[in-house]
C-alpha cells in the first residue's frame, strides 16, 4: 500500500468519528513553529569568542559537528528545515549577530544581522528575536537589568532597547511580526532579605525599555518567567507572578517555558488562564527532566496536552509557538528535526480530534463517553495522516530523514 492509500483508509476511519483529515492538514500547515537557532551551536553565538554560558542554563555533551560560524549554522538550519513539513520561522538571539565589527551587546544594530535577513528572505522564513542577557561580563553578578548597580542596569537597558529596534526592523524587512523575548536570569543563590527591590528595579527598567513605541505590525514584546536557575535557587526576580503581572498590565505577551515551573505544574494548563489577561502568548516548548534541563522535545503527554490547549478552543491564533532546548550529546541537526517534527505532530493530532463532539459530551456531563472517546482516539490511525502530510509537503516520510541526516553528518558535520 502506498502512503496515499493508507491515508485514504485512515481518512475514512476518522470520518466515522466526524473528523475531516484534509481540514486538519490544512490547519496544521498554517502554523509556523519558531525554531531556535541556539540548538545548533550549544548557545554560544558568534559575537564573542570563548565566553562561558551563564545565567543558570546548561548544555551538556560534546557531540562533534557543532556549527562554529553563522554560515555553518545557516547551512545546518537549511538542512533541518528541509526535513520538517511546511514553512516555519527562525528564532535568533542577539549573540548570533554575524559581523566582523567589534561591537558589544549595547551597540548592536540591524546591519549586524544583514546575512540573517538575506537568508530569511531566500528561505521565505520569518525571524523572531531575543535579547541575550547572559554569557557576558556585565551579567557576572547574577543580575542584569535589575542590578542595584546603575552602570550594569543601564548597559542592559541599552541592550534591550536596541533589541526592540532590531526586532521591528526584522519584522518590517520581512513583512511578518517579529516576536522578541526577554528573559533575565537575575536572582540569588541564597535567601534574600529584600525580595521587592530587584523586582521594582526590573519593572521600572522594563518600563524604560518599552517606552519607545514600536509598530505592532512588525514587533511584539514578550517577557519570560522562571521558577529558579542554577546559581539562583532561592530567588528569581522574573517569577511567574512578576512576568505575568508585567505582561498583563503593560499589554505585552507572556512567555511560558515548559521547564520553568514546579515539577507538577504544566504549561498546558496555563495557556487558557494567561490568554484571559494578555492578548498574545509566546511558548518555549521544551522538555524538563528533573530540572529545566532543556531536553529535546518528544511526543509525550504534555506535548499533546499543549497542542490540545491551543487547538481545541482556537487559542492557537493568539499563541506564538517557539522551541527552547539544547542538547549537545546527539547530532544537533537531528535534535532540531526530532523536536520540531514532534511539535507539528502534536498539533496535527490535536486537529484530528472531534472537538465539538467531545465538548458536547462534557457539557452534558457524560464523562464516561469523554474518557472512552479520548482514550480510543489515542489509537486512531494518526500515523497514516502524518505520513501523508509529510509526503504532501515534500519532506521525508517516517524515519527516512534519519539516513539523510547521517549522510549530512558524514559529509558536512564530521569534517568540521
Ligand atoms: C532560560 C530560558 C531562555 C533561554 C534561551 C536561550 O531558562 O528558557 O529562554 O533558554 O533564551
Ligand atoms: Zn525559554
CB atoms within 10 A of CB 266: 17
Q: How far apart are CA 183 and CA 152, in angstroms?
A: 16
Condensed to tens digits (0 to 9), the pLDDT of residues 171-196 reads 999 999 999 999 999 999 999 999 99
Cα separations in angstroms, 284 against 15, 220, 254, 320: 33, 15, 11, 9
pTM of the model: 0.97
Q: In the chain, what are the domain boundaries?
A: 31-353
User: Which of 45, 139, 256, 257 to probe ligand 1 with, by most ligand atoms within 8 A of CB?
Assistant: 257
Percent composition of the chain: helix, strand, coil (DSSP 3-state, to 5): 50, 15, 40
Ligand with an atom nearest the CA of residue 226: 1
* Nearest in space to 180 (alpha carbons), one of 252, 249, 275: 252
Grid cell for residue 51: 565566553
How many residues comprise the chain? 416
143-162 pLDDT, tens digit per residue, is 999 999 999 999 999 999 99
Alpha-helical segments (H) within 211-264: 240-250
Helix axes 114-123, 70-81, angle to 10 degrees: 20
Report helix, strand or coil for 352.
coil
Q: Which residues pair with 160 in a beta bridge?
A: none
Is the C-beta atom of 128 inside 6 A of ligand 1? no
Distance 177 CA to ligand 2 centre (A): 19
pLDDT of 50 reads 85
Q: Which superfamily is assigned to 31-353 in CATH?
A: Divalent-metal-dependent TIM barrel enzymes (3.20.20.150)
Q: By the 8 A CB rule, do 285 and 323 touch?
A: yes
Ligand 1 contact, 257 CB (< 6 A):
yes
- 242 C-beta closer than 6 A to ligand 1: no
Measure 223 CA to ligand 2 centroid, in angstroms. 10
Distances (CA, A) of 114 to 99, 126, 149, 265, 397: 9, 14, 34, 40, 34
Q: In angstroms, rounded to a whole number, what is the distance separating the alpha carbons of residues 58 and 60? A: 6
Per-residue pLDDT of the chain (416 residues; tens, 9 = 90+): 999 999 999 999 999 999 999 999 999 999 999 999 999 999 999 999 989 999 999 999 999 999 999 999 999 999 999 999 999 999 999 999 999 999 999 999 999 999 999 999 999 999 999 999 999 999 999 999 999 999 999 999 999 999 999 999 999 999 999 999 999 999 999 999 999 999 999 999 999 999 999 999 999 999 999 999 999 999 999 999 999 999 999 999 999 999 999 999 999 999 999 999 999 999 999 999 999 999 999 999 999 999 999 999 999 999 999 999 999 999 999 999 999 999 999 999 999 999 999 999 999 999 999 999 999 999 999 999 999 999 999 999 999 999 999 999 999 999 99
Q: Ligand 1, atom 10: nearest CA belongs to which residue?
A: 324
How far, in Å, from the CA of 118 to the mean position of ligand 1? 26
Catalytic positions: 183, 224, 226, 257, 260, 284, 292, 294, 324
* Ligand 1 in reach of 224 Cβ (< 6 A): yes
Amino acid at each position: 500500500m502506498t502512503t496515499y492509500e493508507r491515508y485514504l483508509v485512515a481518512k475514512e476511519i476518522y470520518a466515522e468519528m466526524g473528523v475531516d483529515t484534509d481540514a486538519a492538514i490544512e490547519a496544521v500547515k498554517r502554523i509556523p513553529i519558531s525554531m531556535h537557532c541556539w540548538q545548533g551551536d550549544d548557545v554560544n553565538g558568534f559575537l564573542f569568542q570563548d565566553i562561558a554560558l551563564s545565567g543558570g542554563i546548561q548544555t551538556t555533551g560534546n557531540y562533534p559537528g557543532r556549527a562554529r560560524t553563522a554560515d555553518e549554522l545557516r547551512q545546518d538550519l537549511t538542512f533541518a528545515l528541509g526535513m520538517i513539513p511546511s514553512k516555519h520561522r527562525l528564532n535568533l538571539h542577539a549573540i548570533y549577530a554575524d559581523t566582523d565589527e567589534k561591537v558589544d551587546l549595547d551597540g548592536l544594530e540591524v546591519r549586524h544581522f544583514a546575512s540573517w535577513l538575506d537568508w530569511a528572505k531566500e528561505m521565505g522564513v520569518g525571524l523572531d528575536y531575543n535579547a541575550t542577557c547572559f554569557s557576558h561580563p556585565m551579567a557576572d553578578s547574577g543580575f542584569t537589568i535589575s542590578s542595584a548597580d546603575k552602570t550594569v542596569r543601564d548597559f542592559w537597558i541599552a541592550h534591550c532597547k536596541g533589541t526592540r529596534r532590531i526586532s521591528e526592523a526584522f519584522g518590517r524587512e520581512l513583512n511578518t511580526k517579529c516576536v522578541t523575548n526577554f528573559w533575565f536570569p537575575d536572582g540569588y543563590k541564597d535567601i534574600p532579605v529584600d525580595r521587592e527591590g530587584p523586582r521594582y528595579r526590573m519593572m521600572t527598567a522594563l518600563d524604560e525599555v518599552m517606552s519607545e513605541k514600536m509598530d505592532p505590525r512588525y514587533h511584539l514584546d514578550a517577557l519570560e518567567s522562571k521558577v529558579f536557575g542554577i546559581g539562583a535557587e532561592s530567588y528569581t526576580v522574573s517569577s511567574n507572578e512578576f512576568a505575568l503581572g508585567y505582561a498583563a498590565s503593560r499589554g505585552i505577551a507572556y512567555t511560558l517555558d515548559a521547564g520553568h515551573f514546579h515539577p507538577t505544574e504544566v504549561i498546558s494548563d496555563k495557556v487558557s488562564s494567561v490568554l484571559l489577561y494578555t492578548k498574545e502568548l509566546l511558548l518555549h516548548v521544551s522538555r524538563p527532566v528533573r530540572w529545566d534541563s532543556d531536553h529535546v522535545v518528544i511526543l509525550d503527554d504534555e506535548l499533546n496536552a499543549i497542542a490540545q490547549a491551543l487547538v481545541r478552543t482556537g487559542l492557537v491564533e493568539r499563541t506564538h509557538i517557539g522551541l527552547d532546548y539544547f542538547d549537545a550529546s546527539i547530532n544537533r541537526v537531528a535534535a532540531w528535526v526530532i523536536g520540531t517534527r514532534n511539535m507539528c505532530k502534536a498539533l496535527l493530532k490535536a486537529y484530528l480530534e472531534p472537538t465539538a463532539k467531545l465538548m458536547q459530551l462534557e457539557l452534558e456531563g457524560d464523562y464516561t463517553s469523554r474518557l472512552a472517546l479520548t482514550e480510543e482516539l489515542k489509537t486512531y490511525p494518526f500515523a497514516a495522516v502524518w505520513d501523508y502530510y509529510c509526503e504532501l509537503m515534500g519532506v521525508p516520510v517516517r524515519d527516512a530523514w534519519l539516513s539523510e541526516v547521517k549522510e549530512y553528518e558524514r559529509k558536512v558535520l564530521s569534517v568540521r
